[in-house]
Amino acid sequence: MTDDTPTPTDGSRLDDAEQRTAVRERYARIATESSSCCDDTDTAQSCKLGYSDDDRDAVGAGADLGLGCGNPTAIASLDEGDTVLDLGSGAGFDCFLAAREVGPTGRVIGVDMTPEMVEKARDNRETNDVANVEFRLGEIEHLPVADESVDVILSNCVINLSADKSQVFREAFRALRPGGRLAISDVVLTTELPTDLRADPSSVAACIGGASSIPTLESMLSDAGFTDVAIEPKGDSEEFIRDWSDDRDLSDYVIAATIEGEKPKTRS
């Protein structure tokens, strides 16, 4: 836990501004570290998340920061020519993997609210010499993309960080073309969080304090308009979630899951 993040104004949870600040400051620090976050430990972490050796070898150093909780591209079933949007794209690892799948006729857009992370991703784009990927500064609650302009939305352990997840899903629905789909890896609650985790800025920024339960997420997705919603917990994620804290076993409270949904092809 760091001591340079904001403190909550009440005893139960952070307010929205505090949550955004805690998240932005954490990922700004990660993006601006002098050396790459991806060392041998993070390579092993990527294996646990479901990335193959080929995935890691295909992308230059510096893009895989070992920050996710799954491999959303593995469930996305991307087609050549697809337009893909990555919510909370970080240093660009999943975007670069998606770019391989959609090919030169496809397009990948990464959105991140941290200027330092967007700058890092743009540098990585140059290193990887990828022409069909771009990175935009913006909040996932207010996506800088046009209505019905993307085919697939990816996200990797980011939506839990939002203070307004319902708005995130409404924005995702707006951005998707009819028949478009979600392919998300994220953490979900398996039991109620203790107050000290729910109200701690470091816990929220580290993908624990802001997690929601499966029924809550299902309701949010349905309310946003998504159909064929499927949220599948990943039992093997307990192994890497245990490594997220030296103080307690966080797998007692959260588990990684895949989250999928579809925007109907015709309006109701």
pLDDT for 91-150, tens place per residue?
999 999 999 999 999 999 999 999 999 999 999 999 999 999 999 999 999 999 999 999
The position carrying tokens 């975007």 is 95
Counting Cβ atoms within 10 Å, is residue 262 exposed (0-12), middle (13-18) or buried (19+)? middle
Q: Phi, psi (5° rounding) for residue 214?
A: -60, -50
Residues 6+ away with beta carbon under 8 Å from 260: 75, 181, 182, 183, 184, 228, 229, 230, 231
**What count of other Cβ atoms lies within 10 Å of the Cβ of residue 28?**
13
Is the CB of residue 99 less than 8 Å from the CB of residue 106? yes
Between strands 227-233 and 150-156, the pairing is unpaired
Q: Which residues of the chain have pLDDT under 50?
A: 1-11, 34-41
Q: Where are the beta strands (DSSP E) in the chain?
A: 83-87, 107-112, 133-137, 150-156, 176-189, 212-213, 227-233, 254-262
What is the Cα–Cα distance from 32 to 29, expressed in whole angstroms? Answer: 5
Segment (H or E) for 22: helix 16-31
Structure confidence at residue 227 (pLDDT): 98
- 39 CB-near residues (< 8 Å, 6+ apart): none
pTM for the structure as a whole: 0.90
Q: What is the pLDDT of residue 46?
A: 64
Backbone φ, ψ for residue 224 (5° rounding): -75, -15
For Cα atoms 185, 191, 197, give the angle at the middle one, nearest 5 degrees.
85
Residue that is written with structure tokens 């319902």 in the block: 166
Number of other CB atoms surrounding residue 22 within 10 Å? 26
